[in-house]
Structure formats: structure tokens, C-alpha cells
Structure 1
Amino acid sequence: MTVLLVALGAAVGAPTRYLVDRWLRVRVGAGFPWGTLLVNVAGSFLLGFLVSLPADRSAAALLGTGFCGALTTYSTFSYETLRLPRARALTYVLASVALGVAAAAAGAALAQVTRP
């Protein structure tokens, strides 16, 4: 059952990543990987929130491993970093790491505040 939950979450997360990236490319252009940055930060926030809630194995499998795992992407982040000019690549890496960690912390804080 857990494998099916992971697969279901991934089946939603991967197309979401693709659609967000395409939507942003049309609106702001393809010069900077805004789509990957956005989904990685959003996924970090959601995962920070989820792991700070009381343990629910089904939700963790569906949303954490499945959805967040497919939504966020280290391989695309790495590839896009290599394609950018050096100064922009450094900005992208620093922004991705700083915003991702901050988003995870914010998600965890929100989970603590909303916890009964």
C-alpha cells in the first residue's frame, strides 16, 4: 500500500513541476531557472511542514516521499546550474539553498503553530 501512495503522490508532483516551469518560462523567460527554484522552495516548505506534524505514515508516503519527491528536483537544479554563466550560477545555488532551508524552517514553524 505504501508504494502505491508514493506512486500516486509522484504522479501528481512531477506534472505539477513541469507545468509550473512551463508557466513561468512563458511569463518571465528562460534566462533563469525560476520554475525549478520555485518548486524546490515550495517543496521544501511543504516537507518542513509535513515532517513537523505528528507521524502519519500514509501522509508521509503520499505527500512527503511521493509528491515532494517528484515536485522537487536536484538533478534539474544541478543541470541548470551548469548551464548558467558562472555569476548567475552562484546566485542560483546560493538562493536555492538559502531559500530552501528557510522555507523548510518556515513550514516546520507553521506546523508547530497550527498543532493542537
Structure 2
Amino acid sequence: MTLGPLDWLLVTLGGALGGTARLAVTELAGLWWGRAFPWGTLVVNLGGTLGIGVLAALASWPEAGVVGWTFLAVGVLGGFTTVSSFSLQTLTLFREGRRNAALLNIMVTLVPGVAMAGLGWWAVGGGA
């Protein structure tokens, strides 16, 4: 699939909406439930992964409805969450019967992801 100018525009607009919604939900969750735990991030990630699952089912998996998929899944949910694509890709591996690949994807994404965040923090003197 070749991406055209409309695809880029849809992702840009969707990402702006999703990012704005993420900020709003995160702030509301902090006000409602406090900031001692990242409730807002949990809410947007769980809500976004639910949303991408619904979209995938409605679109008969992402190949159908490319324009809507580009705007909603890649743009809006991509801007709204940090895990929607990862979750859908892992689910796809499970659905294809590739259990080991799905589990490997979980391990090589989550564990190194947390480690890389720690490395970045440490590299700029956050550990001092």
C-alpha cells in the first residue's frame, strides 16, 4: 500500500485529536482518583486497546476501510494510547496460532521498553 497525501493528513488530524483526548482523560483521572498511580495512562491504554479491537472487528481486520482505519486506528488511537498497535499486533499473532511469537513480542516490547525508559532517565542524570 502506498501512502498518499490524504493518508498523512488523516493521521495528522487523528493524532492531534487522540493526543488532546489523552491529555484530557489523563488530567481528569488525576483529579478524580489522584496521581499516586498512573490511572490516566491505564484508562487511555485500556480504552484504546478496546477501541482498536472493536475497529478491527468492524473492519474485518485492518485491511478493510483503509481511510477510516488510517484516521481512527492509526491517527486517533495512535495519538490516544501508547499500546493500541502493540496490543492488536500481539492479538493478531495469537489469532494466527503463533503463540510463541505473540509471547515473544510481549517480552521484547515490555521488558526492554521499561529498561530503555530507565536508561534514558539515567543517561541524562536522572539517577543522580
- Aligned pairs for 1:3-82 (under 5 A) are 3-54=8-59, 55-73=64-82, 78=114
Among all aligned residue pairs of Structure 1 and Structure 2, give the percentage whose two residues are the same amino acid: 35
Partner residue, 1:111? none
Unaligned runs of 5+ in 2: 1-5, 84-112, 119-128
TM-score, structure 2 as length reference? 0.56
**Residue 27 of structure 1, CA deviation:** 1.5
Partner residue, 2:103? none
Partner-residue secondary structure (3-state), 1:47: helix
Q: Find the aligned partners of 1:62 and 1:24 in 2 and give their Cα distance.
A: 25
**Residue 8 of structure 1, CA deviation:** 0.9
Higher fraction of helix: 1
**Residue 53 of structure 1, CA deviation:** 2.1
Question: Aligned pair count?
Answer: 79
Give the RMSD, CA atoms, in angstroms. Answer: 2.1
Return the letter of the residue paired with 2:69: A
- Whose relative contact order is higher, 1 or 2, with alpha carbons under 8 Å and at least 6 apart? 1
Larger radius of gyration: 2
